[in-house]
């Protein structure tokens, strides 16, 4: 029995900042961003957008036309949690009008947890093939102003329906795993922005890739020569290029520079414009590959390396299914990216500095998002979500 991704769709926020603007403010060469980290734009959430509204918007095209009673589980992966108790997925469950007979939980482990959700979903479907699992990854990446992480901000969500009818991709069962307790990136409860040791994080990322690959081989995984493409977690797209170069050295592959680049190039397109979306980035990368490849990918094997700071890592594979193109949301995604509004630096600061009320009062939030859902208010510490007219 095949188990895997039946449908996949992503969403990002209404605004974006071109990194040319940030370069001018900091008086540095924009190529430090465009070429140095491989980023051109970063999506910026409007005040009435958050991980819930983006998650529900990403999932809406996936659940439309589905028998919602078959979706018995919703797994919400995020490191941008809005509540220490209630899963953000419960809000999404209501907004999507899913069946009450559904389990909903939130998973956290930095940028890795969406991969854990997929593996858990595959196990649930294998046990009860008539059921489906909705996996959603949604995050807003925020760093301190004027820090090295500032140009690697962004936001986005991706929704995947896992089922025994994987029209997009079969997820293969073998995984390589690696965990090590490190402090390369973290965000204590009392902080709104993350703390990061960038150089150390890159070092741990690459170390984790090596060990996850070695474990994958020990578990009976495919040889490198059996892979056609690779998707990596992308805190910035240049990291995926560094990672692939590292893996090539690890396995002793004799590929030309052009051949090596061809294995990852199409996975980078969307993230270059969206920025860092934490848990969602690797699967936005998969969507980018499926929608931007110039030839049919049916039967092609894709390797995935998922890294979560802190750290947990996993390497696994999937096989693209025949006829997958008919089930993509390419036009929706490209329209979504094209309709975002470019902002100047003053607007960027307004969005960045928008207050997060903690006094328990009545705080209505003006409508700005162009998406189908919005955060309408925070009232007595309660988040109030609503559908928009979009």
Residue with tokens 């018995």: 72
386 is catalytic: no
362 is catalytic: no
Number of Cβ atoms within 10 Å of the Cβ of 164: 17
327 is catalytic: no
What does 229-255 look like in DSSP terms, one character per residue?
EEEE--SSHHHHHHHHHHHHHHHT---
Kindly list the strands in the beta sheet with 312-320, ordered across the sheet, starting from the edge strand earlier in the chain.
103-107, 71-77, 132-141, 154-163, 4-11, 169-179, 312-320, 301-308, 229-232
| Residue from 93, 233, 329, 333 carrying the catalytic annotation | 233
Residue with tokens 């430090």: 32
Q: How far is CA 159 from CA 48, 200, 218, 287, 297, in A?
A: 20, 31, 31, 11, 21
Tokens (6 digits) for 140: 């807003």
Angle at which helices 51-63 and 88-95 cross, to 10°? 40
| Residue from 6, 40, 106, 111 carrying the catalytic annotation | 111
Handedness of CA 181, 193, 42, 334 (dihedral sign): positive
Rounded to an integer, what distance in angstroms lies between the CA atom of residue 60 and that of residue 156?
A: 14
Q: Are 117 and 107 in contact (CB under 8 A)?
A: yes
Rounded to an integer, what distance in angstroms lies between the CA atom of residue 26 and that of residue 39?
A: 16
| Residue from 6, 40, 49, 79 carrying the catalytic annotation | 79
Whose CA is closest to 82, among 386, 387, 388, 382? 382
Question: What are the residue numbers of the active site?
Answer: 79, 111, 233
């Amino acid at each position: 029995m095949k188990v895997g991704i039946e449908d996949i769709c992503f969403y990002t926020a209404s605004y974006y900042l071109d990194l040319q603007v940030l370069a001018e403010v900091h008086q540095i060469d924009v190529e430090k961003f465009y070429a140095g980290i491989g980023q051109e734009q970063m999506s910026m959430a409007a005040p009435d957008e958050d991980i819930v509204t983006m998650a529900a918007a990403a999932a809406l095209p996936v659940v439309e036309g589905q028998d919602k009673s078959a979706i018995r589980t919703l797994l919400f992966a995020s490191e941008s949690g809005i509540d220490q108790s209630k899963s953000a997925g419960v809000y999404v469950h209501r907004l999507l009008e899913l069946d009450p007979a559904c389990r909903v939980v939130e998973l956290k482990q930095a940028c890795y947890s969406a991969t854990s959700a997929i593996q858990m979903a595959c196990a649930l479907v294998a046990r009860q093939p008539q059921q489906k699992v909705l996996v959603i990854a949604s995050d807003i990446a925020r760093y301190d102003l004027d820090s090295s992480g500032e140009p690697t901000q962004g936001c986005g969500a991706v929704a995947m329906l896992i089922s025994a009818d994987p029209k997009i991709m079969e997820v293969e069962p073998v995984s390589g795993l690696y965990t090590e307790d490190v402090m390369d990136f973290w965000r204590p409860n009392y902080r709104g922005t993350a703390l990061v040791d960038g150089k150390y994080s890159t070092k741990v990322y690459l170390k984790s890739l090596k060990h996850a690959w070695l474990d994958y081989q020990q578990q009976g995984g495919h040889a490198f020569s059996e892979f056609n493409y690779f998707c990596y977690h992308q805190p910035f797209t240049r990291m995926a290029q560094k990672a692939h170069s590292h893996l090539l050295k690890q396995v002793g592959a004799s590929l030309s520079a052009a051949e090596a680049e061809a294995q990852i190039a199409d996975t980078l397109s969307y993230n270059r414009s969206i920025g860092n979306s934490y848990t969602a980035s690797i699967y936005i990368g998969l969507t980018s590959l499926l929608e931007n490849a110039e030839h049919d990918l049916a039967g092609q094997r894709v390797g995935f390396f998922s890294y979560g700071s802190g750290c947990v890592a996993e390497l696994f594979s999937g096989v693209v299914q025949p006829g997958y193109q008919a089930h993509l949301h390419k036009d929706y995604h490209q329209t979504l990216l094209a309709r975002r509004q470019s902002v100047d630096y003053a607007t960027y600061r307004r969005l960045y500095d928008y207050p997060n009320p903690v006094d328990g009062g009545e705080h209505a939030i003006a409508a700005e998002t162009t998406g189908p859902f919005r955060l309408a208010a925070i009232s007595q510490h309660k988040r109030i979500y609503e559908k928009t007219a979009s």
